[in-house]
Structure formats: C-alpha cells, structure tokens
Chains A and B, each alone.
Chain A
C-alpha cells in the first residue's frame, strides 16, 4: 500500500531466513509506556521527526467507528489504542469525521487494513493518517496493552522507530492529561452558526463533535462559540438554551469555563455532554476525579433511573463527577439520573430548579448505539419550557414539533 515516506529507516532485507519484502515492509517500531512496558510493532502513517510520538495512552473497545474516534477532539493529547484487531476495514469518508482534523496524537492497532472496502469510502485509513500527519503503530499485542492499562491506568507513552531508550525517556517525560487545559487546543477560534431548527441554542465548543452539532442542529439554530466565550455575551445572543460540548482533558483545569457555566445556570436551560456534563457538575459545586482507565467504548450499560431501563451507550471519558459531592439541597440540589451498571460511576445528573442536566456518555453516538437519542428530545422540551421569556403558546409548540 502506502510506502513509508523517504527518510524512514528501512530495515535491512537481511540474509537468508529473513522474510521480508521492502515494497510492503513497514519499518519496525516500538511502543513504550511510561512505566517501562515495551510493545513491538511496525510504524504506520507518517514518521515524525526523530521517530518519536508521545501522548497519554487510552484504549477504545468499539468494533466499528474508528474514524469517528480518531477525529473526536476529546482525544486531544491522547494516543488511542483500539482493542478490535482489524482497523480501517471500510476506509474513511468525510461524512464520518467528527472534526475537521484529528486532535489525538496517534493510533495503536493490531492490524491496519490494506484493502478497505465500502461504497461509502473515499480513501483508506492509512491515507488519512498521512493526510492528517497522524502517526501510528500496527502489529501490537493490543490485548496485552489493554490489560496493562486496565490494571495500571492510562499513562504516558511514546512510540516510533527510535531506540527503545529514547522512547522510554519520552514516555516518562509525557505529562499526560491530568491538570492540563487541552480545551484551548481544540476549541473554535470564531463564533459560527450551524443547524436550522426553530429554537436558538448557544453551544460551547470545548472540542465539539460534528454528530453532536447535527443532533442539535435538527432542533435549533446553533451558535457555536469558543470555550471562553463570556456568559453575558452568550446571553446576549438570546438563546433558548445553552449546550456544553464534550472535550478533552481534566475538567479541574477549566475553572474559567466552570465559572461561565455557573453564571449561566438559572438564566437559561443548560445541557452538557461528557466534559460539558463534568463542567456542569463543577458549576453546581461538585468535584470531579480521574478514573483509573476511563470509559472508552460503545457497549456500556447505563441505567436511566426514572424508568429503570438500560441503555447501551457510547463512552469516552477519563474523568467523572463524584456523587458524594453533589449538592443535595437548595437551588443547586442535583439528582443523579443515570448510572453506569458496570462500575456505578455517575452517568447523568439533573438540577430541576436550574433547568440543567448533563450526561457523561454520548447520546449523539457517532460512533455507538442510538439508545440515548431521546436526550436531545428532552433538551428540546427543556428549551421550550425554559426560563426564557418566550411564551409557550400552542402555536409555538406546534411549530417546534414540526422539526
């Protein structure tokens, strides 16, 4: 397929007994974790200068949807290892991009597809890696890697064609995501508008996914604003509600944003997803904490407490809201609405009085199941019944239902 760019170290074709074919051979590479674990593989995609790429290593268990994962801005600063061995099978296509470019630092796979096939495909994943300057490593025992991360937690890593010692030093030096504001790297610079729904929503872009904007755009005209867009400016836009997007990194590092949310609460209905949910929690006064290895997959069972039903959800987070720290009384009294059935982590909260709610997982899917799409419906209802002065006449409601 794609040959390695010039300058890539070529492995020798060796003497008798070495099974090699320089035309298709990928350069051997290593993945080294901050704790010293080493994994063998071969380099894919572009080779970075010095042959070293770094990031915080996390795994994702989805069977399909690699393109959505790779382009999800929430992975900024991270290297994504896929547990499913065959990645790239159906190629890539523009419709499945969650952001104009990937923000993650690299991909780790067991087997990168060399014959992608799909009527939707416009190219191969490997082409995409080259185009996006996203390095990767293939041939890795990703199951061993996942077990390691499961036990020892997400950690810094380095991978590439450099010497093991160099990679190790780079992995140890990698700061990880704790305490870092990665949102500033991924948020929009300018304000722009998407969607054509009858309502008006201001969406804070902390690293927003396209699928999320599509879901919102179906019910509202959405003004996407930068992560530090002031609360009063947001309210000046006269929205029916404010949406807090997903995004990368540690919510505790985002005091400014939590402050903005806090200012908005009570003035306008608020809906947060993922990082947005964590910021909502923080604005309500709750603490957040880092999970050992996070939730990254498309198959997590979540119980919706009001109906008792279970929904299968798409998840991608390393941090969570601490249940014990949620205010239980007063205007900010917040109830837990959803919990993860695997480990009991809070997956959803609602503050009735302030007309705000958030979920930790991804109801917009992309990738993942559609079980929780009703939440956008709930948001719409909240927008309609919100604190804003628009009178909720029958006519008005009908107009809205037409969406």
Chain B
C-alpha cells in the first residue's frame, strides 16, 4: 500500500524533558520520525518542551514548538497549524497521554485530526489494566491475576481468587511502605491489614506474586496489511521483580527453546492484533515460570519504547523510522532494509552477537535514597555493549558504565566484597541492587556452586554459568601470576581466550600483579587503581589507574606483541547471510576485520557514554551536531559511543559508528582501526584528521590524555588541564586581573579550617575533579566544615581519597550573588564570539545545571555584561581555546567574579542554540577543523543572533518524585535529569511556560505557603508581596509570618513549626489540599528537619515547591505576566525570523486560565509509564486504569 496522500500536515509530539523512565530514547525515535515524514513530503509540526533534543532542531520540522507539553498548549498548536494527523506513538508515554487528552477533550474531533499509528481505542485497551486483562482473556492469554480491595474482608476474598503467593501493594504510597508478600491466608490477613493502614485511601492492590519468574520482551511491528514481525527478543538477567528499565537485559533471548520462543511469538502477534495497534512498533512483556514454562503477559506498550530503542541499536533495524513510514500507509515489504540495501524490512533480524544493556543509576547523587531495585525504575541512563559472546558483552558493558570498574570484578573495586562471609555475599546477591552481578561473581569465585547461586538469586542458571566462566578464566590467569608469569610471556592462545571472555588489558594487568602478590587484595596496582569513581577523576577509570597505567600499557604492549588485536565486525541484521552496506561496527576477538577502507579525511567524535545526572542528552546533541556539520563540510565522520538511547548511536548519524565502551583501551582500538582504514586508499593515505574530545562532556575529555596529542582537535588538552588545575588557574586569573572569590585547597581538616579562617564563611566546599558538583556543600561554620570534610574523606576513599594531589577546594561563597553562564566560541585566528549570556534565576550556590536561567540576561547592567564578555575573551585567548568555552561567573555588587572556565561544550549549548538560532555546536566543530568565524559567517552557518524581542528561560527537571527519602532542596550538587525551555516576549511569561513545562503548576488563585530561612526573609519579602498583590492568600510559619506582617504583608494563616503543640502544623495544612504553592528555603545552618518535612509533604501531595527566593520572585512575576497577557504559542522558525511572523495564537480554555489544570499533571507527568509490570505492579496504576 502506498504512502497516504490524503494527509498533508502531521503533528508529532515529543516526550518532553529527560526524566527517569523517559529519557533520550524518545529523541532518537522522534528525530527519526520527523526526518522520515519530511522525506516523504509531509509537513511536520513538532511539539516538545526539551531544548536539548535533536528533534527540536529547527531544520527537522517545518514548525518546531518548544512549548510546554500540556493539552491546552497543544490544542493551541493544533488550532494554529491545523494538522491532518497526529502521530502519538513516538513520544513516549507523554506523547501517548497527551494524544489521549486531546482526543478526550474533543480537540482532535473539532479540528479533524486523525490519530495515526494507534487509535484511541487501541491505546486504551493497552493502557487500561482492566481492559487489557479482559482483552487478553478473550484471546486465551494469561495475565497475572489481581484485584483491588478496600477492606480486610475484600482483601481476603480477592486473595483467594488470585492465589498464593501474593503481593500486596497499598495505593498512593511512596517508597513502598506497607508493601508485602503473603504465602498463605494468615500472612495475607496480616500484610493486607498493614497495607490498608499504610494507604492514605485505604486501598490495596492484591496480585499474584511472580517474583523470581523469568522475564522476556518481544519488540513487535505490524503494518496495515497485518504483516507482523518480531524485531528482537530480549531476556532479562534479573528475574521478575526488578523493573525492566533497571534490569540487566540481553538480546536475543538466551534460554528459550524454539518451541517456547515460537509460542511466545504467536502470543505477541495475537496481543498486538487484539489490542488493535494498526501500524508501528509495540513492546510486549512476558513472565515465564522457570519450573514449568507457564507464560503470562505482563504488559504491552502500544508505542515505541525504551526497549524499542535498545532493540533498534541491538539489531540495526530502525524501529522508529519504520514505524513512522508504516503510520503513513506503507507496508513492511515496501520498505527497504537500510543495512543490506537489498532486502525488504518485512523480515525478522537475526544476529550473530550478544547485546547486553546495563542501567546506570545515580544513588550516590541522592543522599537518602536506598540502593535497592524494585518495580519502580530508578536508573538515569544505560549502556549497551556488543560482543560475540555474553561474557564479552557483559564485561564490555560494565566497562562502558564508567563507574571505575574494568569489567566483572578483577579490579581494585572488588575489594568491597573480600571482607564478606560467603553466606553474607550470597545473601546480598539475593537483593536486587546494582552490586548484584559483582557479588555473584565474587561468590562463584569462592566456590559457591552455580546451582545454589541460581536458586538463591532467581537468575537463570545459564547466566550464572556464564559468570562462572569469567570467574574460572580469571582464576587460571591468577594462577599463572602466582607462578611468576610476566605479562610478556602470555601466549597468543591465552590472550585470545581472555579477550574473548571480555577481559580488559587493565584487568589482565591487575590479575597478574595480584597473583604475583599472593592474595593481598591491596597490592600496588590496587592502590593506584582505587581511584575509580563514580563520575571519575580526570584520570579516572577510563584510563585505568594512574599508578597502574604502566601495567595496563604494558599489558597492551604485550598483547599486541602476542599478535592479539581486536577485529571489528558489522551489525548487519542478517547474521552475515547478506552483504551489509552500513558501517556499524563493534570490536571482538575473531579472525577477520570488516572495516572498509576509507578514501576521505575522517574525523572521530568521542561520545558521552551513558546518561547520568550532570552529563546527559545535551552532550549527545553536541556530538551529533559536530557529525552533521563535518559531514556537510566533506569529512567522513566516525562516532564512538555506547549509549543506546541516543541519536549519536543511530547508524546513519555518522559515516561510521563504533558501538564501543569509552575507555582508553577501547578507544585506542578504534583509533588504530581508523588509521588502518586510511592506509591503502587509492588516493594515497586518507588521514584520520583527528579526534574530537571536547563535545561529549567529561567522558571523552578524560580520554584526551590517552589519545595522541597530535590527533586531539580544538583546544589543546594542556589548556583543558590548566583550567582544571587550581593553582595555575588562580595564577592565570590574577595575571588577567579577573576577580575570583578567595579560596584555597586543603588536604587535611586543619588546612581546611585555616583556609576558612582566612577567607571567612560561608564557604563552598568541593572535591577536585568531579562532575556535576558531586559532594559540594555550602558551609557556614567550623563545626560543619569538619563534618563535611570528614564525610568527604570517607566517601572519596574508594575513589582515591583526599590528598595533596586531590585536595578539597574551599572557596568563599558569595551570598546572594547572581550566577551567570557565558557560552562562547573562539577560532584559531583569535576571534571570540560570545554566543549567549545566561542569567540564573537561582542565586549562586545552586548548581548551574539545576538552576533556571534566562537568555538574554534580565537584570544585568550593560557595564556588567561588558565585563562578562571581556573576561570571557581574555580567558579564551589566554587558554588558546579553539572551539567552545563556557565560563561561569557570580555577579555581586556589579562585579563579575569568575567561578570556573570550561574549554569544552557545556550543557547549555543546545539551549543557547535554540534561544538564539545559532548552531553553536556546529560552528564549534567547524572551528576545531580550522575554519574561521569569518568564513563561517560567509557560509551563513554563523548567522547574526536573531532579534532580542524574545526571552528564553531554561528550567531544570528534578527526579525527586522517584526518591521519596531524598530532600528536594537545591544546592551545589547537581541533581536534575533534564531540562525544559519556555519562550515568550517577557521574562515572566517565559518563566511561567518553563514552569508548566517542568511540571510545576503555578497557581493563579488560592494560597501560597511561605517558610523562609532567616537570611532569606528580607529578600523573600518582595516575592510575598508579589503573590499578595496578585490576590493570592498567604500562609506562613510563625517566624516568617511575623516578619511579613511587620513589613505590611498580610498573612491569613499562621502555622506552627512541625510538631509544635497546639499549632496547626505545616504538614497538615499542605496535606489538606489548601495550599497551591509552597515556598520553603533552607536554613543556613542547624537542623533542616522542619523544611524537609514540608518539602516532602509537598512532593507527596504534588504541590509545587520552590526552594529559593529567587524562584519565588520569578514565579510571582510569571503569574502576573500570565494574567496580563495570557499564554500563546510560537514556533522556533518564527522566533528566529526564518518565516514571516504570524500572530501568535493564544492558548485558551483550560490551560490558559487554569495553570494548575489536572490535564497537565496527568499528561506531562507520567514517567512512570514504563514501569514495568506496570499494569500489574504500579501503585499509582489506578489513576491510569480508572
């Protein structure tokens, strides 16, 4: 069936900010969809609030709306653009929910918009638990039995029907309170009673427990002619009970016989047909009883999902791209398989390698969170690795995580398990945590039998057997070490076996040295290598240990002499049955290399690895832009990355893709491969022009030292070091006469106290060489400074501790200063272009990644702006920057103090690009290759900044809803997972939009509750007055109320502090639903318990909570502007003057006048959607089901 010609304009909805459970995989899917639809000649209108995405690049759609993903806002876009169709299945759960909201409100009907891909009925059937269960029953498929109960009697009745063992989950609780399992009637009576008591609505979900069952997923596609194919099967390493997003997963399925697999495939097709997903991809999850093979359907996602992204990268079958084509009428057999170029897409990929995905968690960033995995997803990113065997792919995946591990143990961090008893180790391995796989290997190594370990953990014996292979290989190598074997004497066969099991050179070096020292776990290598940390010091894990680097290098040299080097194989969808034309490679140790010769100069771009807090999609955006710009400029681009969620790992983003870990060893292999590829070009040597390390965040930057300096493009690594080296940097600033907050470095408590005494409190304390402000704190007195210092020593121990090489930095903290970010680019000729100056909303002290910011700056005097530009220029020149430079300033009393300079891409680059219309990353990439800014101006790649009529505000999105025990207070440590952007004609409106987009429902009426720290009271007065002037009622804690009243601001409700006798307390007030906005700022010192209660109550009841006075002031301004002007929508193309301006259209109805509209909360706020076993397992499920 051909392309549909009855539709012209298609609206695509993105998934909004990166949040846990919904990450940049939907940038990948949305970008593919937009590209495909435009290539098919459709007019594409895109809505997404996330400026860091590729999909919101103005050239990807005809109209790009970076607007809040809110039903009211979307209705305005629909009214303005009059799309014929809405494609809801590529924007995650957010896209799906919004489409349903528009359908439900009649917007689609009113404007004649057709849902394509999946219709409303299919979506409801898949999403509504009850309907799904019924539908599956009709076609003879089993779902886990369950039911709700509101009383003990009901619970017992449901329990009897469901069958034991039973899982009881209270509704509307956080953190799993009251959840329990019951083996029999008596236990159920007890657990159900507890659950009912724990639930604020006295309601529990009773379901059959299938914890410990095997878990599988099938990625299915269907077209209009009812052709169905399975793109990929995925098996979870972790048994049921761990959210699939938090599980280690493996493709293809490993432990299903064909009889079982084909039956599952039949079920999957029956499911997609019954649910009625007409075209596109769906993900269907199954649980299988390991004892009997009994199979249950757990969940079905009627859309492209995180698993589809993984399946696409794992097989080379571009699900999103094909889903978009299917949605506009094509059938699978009409679409070519890009990879072979010769066969159609109506087939099932077969692969000849193993893919392992491991999630990346951020527990260390969230003090108070419990490192335990469950049915609620908590990871912030993931890595994927390809190997010919599971052992190889698992160890590669672990390396890819960049968490200081060289593979499955066999590195210094394994010391953590050495002190545990065998039984303790096994006991811990039974708990699903990020440590489990390491604990399992450690247990096997001690002789715990694979059978008993499999039985205890529920991990399939096949996987346990594979872990044991790794164990056995390492023990053999250690034995050689004990026998005194030097690495130089390892023969080819031994090396090949080790590499085929995925061992890194660093592991081999470690094991041989360790063997040599007998059983001492803390040998010299261990000492040096222990610096491996979570976000990694500059010379971190990726490079191997600082002191042990010699050993790794020696191991590598010995290996190469033994003639063992990796071969690069191709991901080809067909197990080599047909020739593949797409250069998508992975390294493995086999006979034959498949990298083709290259005839053009090539540029290698090192990507940013797994998403994590502090390093996310923004950097992938920069890498992708570099690839696009350099391809346009005639280079062949080579991408290296290991994050399956990203656009950079699409096989068609660059000329070649190496899906490899970003470690020194793996990157060196790719560089060698690329050097070889250019050697015998007919046109003489086609050079590897260089390697870009400065666009992917810390990950590639850390690798700069292991790359031949002659190959590093752009700013020299030495300059990057200079900016990081405290002393030299201070000296440079002095020479340049750029003011800095006073400070010093300390490696002992006494030194720290001395520094503080010299510079005065408050001070900002932070370890050197960390990313995203980890472990930073503002300290107001000696006592706390000592505590913080000791805590740092403890927490950094595993990362090398505190030393004079790695001191703790102590700077004067400038209170109430305005923080400013400046992004600029300098060319080799010395011209500096200041692309964007961003004024933070939150004052200095809140990590820049967590702060809202406005572009252009709103309160800075021209003289201050001039200082900022001047300082930026002189820093750029003195560092010899060629490419991007980000400088952070604190402005106080009209003086700009420089806080830090980063001669690399910053996370604000995409925001600046969207706000100004200047493709900053592309410009930087070209500049790094030698183009001058003047030349780029001539090419029109560098355009003048578009007119200043618009204000753009970026707001951070925080993950606190996932971590109930974690305080939502903002501080110097970055904790946001993503960002949104609001564009409007005034700051207030842009801020209001950014808040809606971030899920903060600013009230237009009702009560604002204020509880301010003493030092914030004066500055908070203005904000309070602002709210009062808008007619909002004020409530406040007694101290705050007294201060406001004494300054003439009326407070209608005064509450006591938490627990104060006789006073209505704040928690009760917020719980009662009488508060629409909370402003709670931390006390500078002393216990924070009160504030914590207030903030967590707000979070529990979904009342927006602002934790800085600055944000409160901005909110008041936003509400005021919103009242005056109303919200309207505008596309980027119009903002940047690429198209004639049309009057913006107003958002009316619900969203316009009810900022706190329900729709919004629902639609924009469902990261949960991917919760797996979702239907069955999610406490909040009733919301969706009902």
Residues of A that sit less than 8 Å from B by CB: 14, 16-21, 24, 39-40, 59, 61-65, 67-68, 83-86, 89-90, 93, 95-96, 110-111, 113-120, 141-144, 146-147, 150, 297-301, 303, 308-310, 312, 341-342, 365-370
Contact = CB atoms under 8 A, between A and B. Distances in A.
A342 B575 contact: no
A297 B333 contact: no
Given A62-B350, A342-B578, A111 B494 contact: no
A312 B347 contact: yes
Contacts of A146: 352, 575-577
Contacts of B343: 301, 341-342
A394 B592 CA distance: 64
Interface stretch (B457-465, B517-525, B790-798, B900-908): B457-465
Interface of B: 225-227, 229, 233, 252-262, 265-266, 290-293, 331-333, 342-344, 346-354, 388-390, 450, 454, 460-462, 464-466, 468-469, 472, 476-477, 480, 483-485, 489-491, 493-494, 497-498, 569, 574-579, 590-592
B347 A342 contact: yes
A115 B575 contact: no
6 contacts: A24-B472, A61-B574, A90-B256, A144-B592, A298-B350, A299-B349
B352 A83 contact: yes
A308 B569 CA distance: 36
Contact of B348 (A19, A83, A299, A366): A299
Given A19-B477, A119-B291, A298-B350, A96 B577 contact: no
A86 B389 contact: yes
B330 to A, nearest CB: 13
A299 B258 CA distance: 13
Given A18-B493, A308-B225, A367-B262, A341 B347 contact: yes
Given A297-B577, A303-B333, A341-B343, 5 more contacts: A62-B258, A89-B462, A93-B257, A144-B592, A310-B346
Contact of B483 (A16, A83, A312): A16
B261 A64 contact: yes
A299 B347 contact: yes
B480 A115 contact: no
B1125 to A, nearest CB: 55
User: Most chain-A Cβ atoms within 10 A of its Cβ — which of B292, B350, B351, B579?
Assistant: B350
Given A83-B577, A141-B591, A309-B226, A64 B257 contact: yes
A19 B592 contact: no
Nearest to A142: B352
Contacts of B227: 309-310
Given A89-B255, A367-B262, A39 B575 contact: no
Given A84-B575, A86-B354, A297-B350, A143 B590 contact: yes
A143 B491 contact: no
B348 to A, nearest CB: 4
A89 B464 CA distance: 12
Contacts of A366: 258-259
A115 B591 contact: no
Contacts of B348: 298-299, 312, 369
User: Most chain-B Cβ atoms within 10 A of its Cβ — which of A14, A59, A120, A301?
Assistant: A301
Contacts of A67: 257
Q: Is the interface of A mostly helix, strand, loop or mixed?
A: loop
Rank and list the top 3 A-B pairs by shortest CB-CB distance, nearest first: A115-B465, A19-B494, A65-B258
Contacts of B460: 117
Nearest to B500: A139
A173 to B, nearest CB: 25
Contact of B485 (A17, A63, A83, A368): A17
Contacts of B290: 119
Nearest to A24: B472
A303 B266 CA distance: 19
Nearest to B388: A85
B440 to A, nearest CB: 14
A86 B391 CA distance: 11
Contacts of A17: 480, 485, 489-491, 494
A120 B257 contact: yes
A369 B262 contact: yes
Contacts of B260: 120
User: Most chain-A Cβ atoms within 10 A of its Cβ — which of B259, B464, B579?
Assistant: B259
Given A143-B352, A150-B579, A341-B347, A110 B469 contact: no
A146 B225 CA distance: 33
A216 to B, nearest CB: 18
Nearest to B489: A17
Contacts of B259: 95-96, 120, 366
A18 B485 CA distance: 9
Contact of A115 (B226, B331, B468): B468
Given A63-B351, A83-B350, A96 B258 contact: yes
Contacts of A40: 591
B1005 to A, nearest CB: 58
A150 B466 contact: no
A63 B218 CA distance: 14
Contacts of A59: 577
Contact of A310 (B332, B480, B591): B332
Contacts of B331: 310
A99 to B, nearest CB: 16
Contacts of B485: 16-17
Contacts of B266: 370
Given A90-B257, A342-B578, A368-B258, A85 B353 contact: yes
B576 A147 contact: yes
Contacts of B255: 89-90, 117-118
Contact of B257 (A96, A113, A150): A96
A68 B257 CA distance: 10
Contacts of B262: 365, 367-370
B827 to A, nearest CB: 45
B592 A114 contact: no
B181 to A, nearest CB: 23
A308 B224 CA distance: 12
Given A64-B256, A299-B348, A19 B497 contact: yes
B346 A301 contact: yes
A64 B349 CA distance: 13
A141 B592 contact: yes
A86 B258 contact: no
Contact of B575 (A16, A18, A61, A119): A61
B41 to A, nearest CB: 25
Contacts of A370: 262, 265-266
Contacts of B577: 59, 61, 83, 146, 150, 297
Nearest to A39: B591
B489 A83 contact: no
Contacts of B468: 115
A61 B252 CA distance: 13
Contacts of B493: 18-19
B484 A16 contact: yes
A68 B258 contact: yes
Nearest to A211: B259
Nearest to A69: B258
A215 B265 CA distance: 19
Nearest to B227: A310
A342 B225 CA distance: 19
Contacts of B489: 16-17
A20 B350 CA distance: 34
Nearest to B233: A63
Contact of A86 (B254, B450, B480, B494): B254
A116 B462 contact: yes
Contacts of B498: 19
A18 B576 CA distance: 33
B569 A143 contact: yes
Contacts of A14: 491
A310 B465 contact: no
Given A117-B462, A312-B229, A299 B292 contact: no
A115 B347 contact: no
B156 to A, nearest CB: 32
